[in-house]
Amino acid sequence: MKLLKIYTDSFSGLSKESWMLAIVMLINRAGSMVLPFLGVYMTDHLGFKLEAAGLVLSCFGIGSVLGSWLGGWVTDKIGEFKVQSLSLLLSVPLFCMIPLFQTEIGLATIILLQSTVSEFFRPANSVAITKYAKPSNMTRSFSLNRMAVNLGFSIGPAMGGILSAISYDFLFYSNAIAALIAGIVYISFFRNRKYRNDEELGLKEIKSTISPYRDGKFLLFSFLCMMFSICFFQLLNTLTIFYKTEANLTQQGIGYLLGYSGFIIVLLEMLLVQIADTRFRLKFTLFIGTLLCGISFAILGLSSSIFVLVLAMTILSVGEIWTMPFMSTITALRSGPNNKGAYMGLLGIGFSLSFIITPYVGTYIAQEKGFTFLWFGTGILMALTALGFYFTIPWMLGDKKVEESSSI
């Protein structure tokens, strides 16, 4: 009963605005059908060679980097409301235009533009959470948003599989409709909405007034986040290849295993974040979360049995819960009231770069040295990153606690 109370309490006290931001994110991400099927669309429908498809996918990653940087900068200039509104609404015609471009250069260009515009949304959305969330539950507000993302990504690809069997064009139009609905809901609710008291929000912030690109401590933290994401996002590419070639899983089996990860996150994220928020220091939360992720990859080097695969995915999901939402919280604490967008944008750049780096590095190591070497190496790199977090965070924030009752 006590555990049930902790679980229900993890959802209590969140602001109405935090819930609405999560709903907007859920609507938007539920329409995320283009990216999971873009590679298949290019090779099967358009007849692109693998090299050409890889080039277009790289343009998506480059657009994400540009969008994170520009979106953060513009957010600080004109405000997160305008940036989120423009990003959602401008995405609508861009998604509808994608089927019109069927050459390699044309498709690469429109995908670059579309991913840049869509990625404007991410840093602005993170800034909105910091402005509308109650200071005592900022991390839980970030977690609620992540739950919406994971739930949306579970719905979108499933619907996309059905629609793509009818026509690939439906993928792009459905993505556009979801962005339009999300935009209308967001604008209707948040237009003329006032932020929470700046003084209340500032109580636990290290109010930085300099650019994040000249903030040495935060640059080191961002580098550690990038190293984490380069290791972690093998989940989306190298790990699925391992499942197919080494563990001999079917595509359906791979889908079930990835879906299991989403299920764990949706079920446990708010509970585990609540526990960490009230009992752990930030440095310990990031340390143990990153270390768990490293362990999950390392044990894959021992066996490819289904028991080990499920165990590794379970540990990885828990590690993810104790890292990603807290990275956003730490970024919010480090930034000041007038440069949150730039700080969130720089954090996002590290994650976007991993989408470019990880597929090439992971597959190259697996091909040249084997998967066992890759998984043990990933575990070691994650352990070193965990140590980096443990010493960097108190140096950057003065060993702050999210809650005064933190004990570790």
Could you report the per-residue pLDDT of 174-190, keeping only the tens digit for each? 889 999 999 999 999 99
- Evaluate whether the domain defined by 14-189 bears CATH number 3.30.70.660: no
pLDDT of residue 140: 85
pLDDT of residue 400: 53
Burial class (CB in 10 A: 0-12, 13-18, 19+), 399: exposed
CA-based nearest residue to 277, from 385, 382, 339, 204: 204
- Rounded-to-10 torsion of CA 208, 210, 213, 218: -20
How far is residue 323's CA from residue 287's CA, in Å, rounded to a whole number? 8
pLDDT of residue 132: 87
Return the residue matching tokens 């080191």: 220
pLDDT of residue 114: 93
What is residue 214's DSSP assignment?
A: G
At 353 the three-state DSSP class reads helix
CA-based nearest residue to 15, from 23, 4, 6: 23
How far is residue 155's CA from residue 148's CA, in Å, rounded to a whole number? 11
State the amino acid at position 163 in one-letter form.
L
Q: How far is CA 160 from the centre of its chain?
A: 20
- Rounded-to-10 torsion of CA 379, 380, 386, 387: 160
How far is residue 179's CA from residue 172's CA, in Å, rounded to a whole number? 11
Query: Could you give the residue range(s) of every CATH 1.20.1250.20 domain in the chain?
Result: 14-189, 205-408
CA-based nearest residue to 34, from 105, 106, 91, 76: 91
How far is residue 65's CA from residue 72's CA, in Å, rounded to a whole number? 11
152-175 confidence digits (pLDDT tens): 877 776 677 777 778 888 888 988
* Residue ranges, the chain, pLDDT below 50: 197-205, 402-407
How far is residue 248's CA from residue 243's CA, in Å, rounded to a whole number? 6
pLDDT of residue 4: 66
State the amino acid at position 7 in one-letter form.
Y
Burial class (CB in 10 A: 0-12, 13-18, 19+), 398: exposed
State the amino acid at position 178 in one-letter form.
A
CATH pick for 205-408 out of 3.90.1110.10, 1.20.1250.20, 1.10.620.20, 3.30.470.20: 1.20.1250.20
Q: How many residues does the chain have?
A: 408
How far is residue 317's CA from residue 296's CA, in Å, rounded to a whole number? 9
Q: Are 117 and 91 in contact (CB under 8 A)?
A: yes
Number of CB atoms found within 10 A of residue 233's CB: 18
Q: How far is CA 292 from the centre of its chain?
A: 18
- Give 129's contacts (C-beta < 8 A, 6+ positions apart): 18, 21, 138, 141, 142, 145, 328, 332
Using alpha carbons, list the distances in angstroms from residue 2 to 5, 7, 254, 384, 403.
5, 9, 35, 36, 20
- Give 252's contacts (C-beta < 8 A, 6+ positions apart): none
How far is residue 328's CA from residue 331's CA, in Å, rounded to a whole number? 5
At 88 the three-state DSSP class reads helix
pLDDT of residue 326: 92
CA-based nearest residue to 26, from 179, 171, 131, 189: 179
Q: Are 343 and 218 in contact (CB under 8 A)?
A: yes
How far is residue 280's CA from residue 289's CA, in Å, rounded to a whole number? 12
Q: Give the pTM.
A: 0.79
